[in-house]
Homo-oligomer: A and B are copies of this chain.
Amino acid sequence: MSTAATGSGAARPTAAPASAPGADPARKPTPLAQALGQALRDAMAEDPAVHVLGEDVGTLGGVFRVTDGLAKEFGEDRCTDTPLAEAGILGAAVGMAMYGLRPVVEMQFDAFAYPAFEQLVSHVARMRNRTRGALPLPITVRVPYGGGIGGVEHHSDSSEAYYIATPGLHVLTPATVADAYGLLRQAIASDDPVVFLEPKRLYWAKDTWDPAHPTPVEPIGRAVVRRAGTSATLLTYGPSVPVCLEAAEAARAEGWELEVVDLRSLVPFDDETVCASVRRTGRAIVVHESGSFGGPGGEIAARVTERCFHHLEAPVLRVAGFDIPYPPPMLERHHLPGVDRVLDAVDRLQWESRWTEGGGR
């Protein structure tokens, strides 16, 4: 993974001690999962109200080892192995938050968050609004999502469409090690509930990073240009960010300079950064693993078109997973949007002037 560049825009510091990045010799290749663990550790150390709970998060440290060591360091009351019941976990977290704690809930895999759907939609997302602000719920729900790790069925869903359609939730997803740390710290510090989507297949991806001086990152609600370009904009997030960066690199050989925007925050959505890029390039492709129909790409394409219609040289295209149940491990590579599929879409961006076409425009 080569996505450590912080991108454009002034980075605002997170709660973590900021530092001059690059100056520190302690920066070393760090897997994304480790940065997530560090974020939990630092948040727990800083604020005794932060509690971690979920299945196997304690003794085992989570099946992805993100919570490794927390129970030992902070005690089982702060990092708690719960009974195996997701609605119960999230429901208990609601009560804990009502009493002033800041629970961080781990769902073991994306599809295993579904049992908690009612709690999430009917309570977590709405409690602040229902109570006219009296009862904000600072809950972070960590959901490992997406495929590419050879998991059997129900272990590789991309469930973001469900969450972004639920007002009251913030929906974040990091694609870099710095964001894994920085966004998770921001999520925990936020007084709003956050669905924090962790791209499973990037857990072991590494960036150069210093746990003692985490790189400051952009705040929630801001997208970041990970690679500047002029030909077209790739709008993407999470596990598809490295794919897009690789595609942009490959596209250069064919004469295209693709701009890659890492959305980071699906809700709130950064119309400003996204539209600025698309207005500049005139062409855009949304790339995500989630199915296409009813997926986030539709929203993104629609809103970009509403806002940038007269700047568009071609319709905003979508490169996404197929509209099928997530495939078995041996076939998933055919499902996942890869570099080739992105490049094929770039091909279809109507590079011939549209004026030469017969259409009604």
Contacts and interface: CB of A to CB of B under 8 A. Distances in A.
Interface size on A, as a range, is: 35 or more
Residue of A279, A296, A300, A305 with most chain B CB atoms under a 10 A cut-off? A305
A121 B243 CA distance: 28
A145 to B, nearest CB: 14
Contacts of A111: 118, 121-122
Contacts of A269: 293
Interface in A137-185: 153-154, 161-162, 164-168
Interface string A290-334: 110111111111110110011110111110000111000000000
Given A167-B324, A299-B298, A361 B318 contact: no
* Total identical chains: 2
A293 B303 CA distance: 9
A282 interface: yes
A31 B154 CA distance: 42
B294 A296 contact: yes
B305 A299 contact: no
A360 interface: yes
4 shortest A-B CB distances, which residue pairs?
A310-B359, A165-B294, A298-B299, A114-B118
Interface of A: 87, 111, 114-115, 117-118, 121-122, 125-126, 129-130, 153-154, 161-162, 164-168, 267, 269, 279, 282, 290-291, 293-303, 305-306, 309-312, 314-318, 323-325, 354, 357, 359-361
